[in-house]
Amino acid sequence: MNKKLLYLLVIVLASCGKGKNSSSNVYFTGEIVNPTASHVVLYKGDNIIDSAQLDEHNRFIFRFDSITDGLYHFNHAPELQYVYLKKGDSLAVRLNTVAFDESLVFSGDGEEINNFLLELFLANEEERSGINSTFKLQPEEFIKNLDSLANQKLEILNTLTEEGNFSDREVKIAKASIKYGYDSYKEKYPFVHRKYTSDKKIQKVPENFYDYRKNIDFNDSDLTYLRPYYNFMNNHFGNVTYMNCKTDCELQQNLVRNRMHFNSHKLYLIDSIVIDKELKDNLLRKVAFDYLLKSHDSEKNNETFIEKFHTLSKNSRHHKEVDELYEGIKNIQPTKSIPEVYVYNGEGVKMSLLDISKNRKTLFYFWSGEDKRHLKEVNKRVKWLEKRKPDYQLVGINVKTEESNWKGIVQTSNLKPEMQYRSDNFEELTKALIIFPINKCIITENGKIINAFSNIFSNTIEQQMSGYTQLAKN
């Protein structure tokens, strides 16, 4: 049993029964240690409700005469987290951005449900590696382990419900956070099991393996932006689409995943089943982004797919995002000049990527000061590549790190200062270079793109960096 959840149980039970504010006014206040932005933004779904500036003591306050009860999230760039608000709440939060989620704690009216949801999130993060190690088990044993973990948390929730003052909506959201979180692993099981065991075929599962699917709600607006629910939906439709394609569709070379057919099939399946409009649009957007970012398909197929997406999605903002992504992808195809994006060196001098890479063979890689483990692995890989490919300059571009912190990291991480740059506009950089995933690297020669979708940890990275001189000249 997770010790944090047990501790939370004691605290919440001790707080139950205290007087509640009968007013409909809502206060949400907080203090942020080591702030990374000047303000906090409160969202309901995709919509901004309000923003609040930090004062000289790094505190903020939101006040509403009334509010729709439900799940919100607050953003202090680049981090965000849930907050459940209801009429009469006077809720305070304190956190330290050095360990955003781990340091976060709620107090005041409304603290019980918020601390419970937070501890569920942290417990699930702690369990992740342990659960991943069980994917190699047979399906019966795998289900048994997951159900045991879920039941432990449901028992705590039941105790809090009986003794505390959770509303019906709060109980529903907490229960969904538990159940959909574990059911999401079940949706991934056949594919991850095959990977872990090196089986060539998908593992057959017992007939009752997916019994929980009988209770899936595809039309609950309270859950639309609940992370476990949304992640479950993505995994569920990926699983069902794959199985349907495998049995019902005519496939070329027996390929299912990461092609226009699979993703188009997934679009139509979501459209035919999901009722809640926001959930449907969000899932359709996710399919479009996955296809464009991972498939690297032909321009003709991309255009056909986007037409299908536009037909099904009713969200014009999502249309714009997908179209911008597609245009960005078209702009970084082989033989094209690297986009005129500007970054800064350690002296504060502004330079374009084209200036940095002209007349040289260059590999651009990306890192963030927030992920020390990733930086360590990237740094090790870069030093290995420098020895193997001395004709290349390996240029690091930092994202999402304050300038002073970036300079300190460059000094203490044994990076070559003359090969390090930072961007002060992550959104512009991401749109222009399509930075996904963070392991991505871009190979250029004389400022022309050779491969804009490589991975610095790829087993074939050396081959990708060799023999492209003629391509770069074209």
CATH of 342-473, one of 3.90.79.10, 1.10.579.10, 3.30.70.600, 3.40.30.10: 3.40.30.10
pLDDT, the chain, mean: 90
Spatial CA neighbour of 104 closest among 86, 79, 87: 79
pTM of the model: 0.85
Spatial CA neighbour of 453 closest among 336, 288, 373: 336
Using one digit for the tens of pLDDT, what is the confidence trace for 221-234? 999 999 999 999 99
The terminus-to-terminus CA distance of the chain in angstroms comes to 62
What local confidence, expressed as pLDDT, does residue 166 receive?
Answer: 87
Tracing tokens 């692995």 back to the chain, one arrives at 377
Cβ–Cβ under 8 Å, residues 76 and 48: no
> 139-153, 335-349, 454-468: lowest mean pLDDT where?
454-468
Using one digit for the tens of pLDDT, what is the confidence trace for 459-471? 999 999 985 544 5
What local confidence, expressed as pLDDT, does residue 400 receive?
Answer: 82
Every domain of the chain and the residues it spans? 3-248, 253-330, 342-473
Spatial CA neighbour of 116 closest among 9, 21, 210: 9
Region 402-427 average pLDDT? 91
At 161, the amino acid letter reads T
DSSP assignments along 222-233, one per residue? TTTT-HHHHHHH
Using one digit for the tens of pLDDT, what is the confidence trace for 67-113? 999 999 999 987 899 999 999 999 999 999 888 889 999 999 999 99
Q: Is the pLDDT of residue 378 over 70?
A: yes
What local confidence, expressed as pLDDT, does residue 404 receive?
Answer: 86
Paired strand residues for 393: 362
Which pair of structure tokens corresponds to residue 405?
């912190």
Q: Is the pLDDT of residue 17 over 50?
A: no
Q: Is the pLDDT of residue 196 over 70?
A: yes
Percent above pLDDT 70 for the chain: 92
Q: Is the pLDDT of residue 259 over 90?
A: no
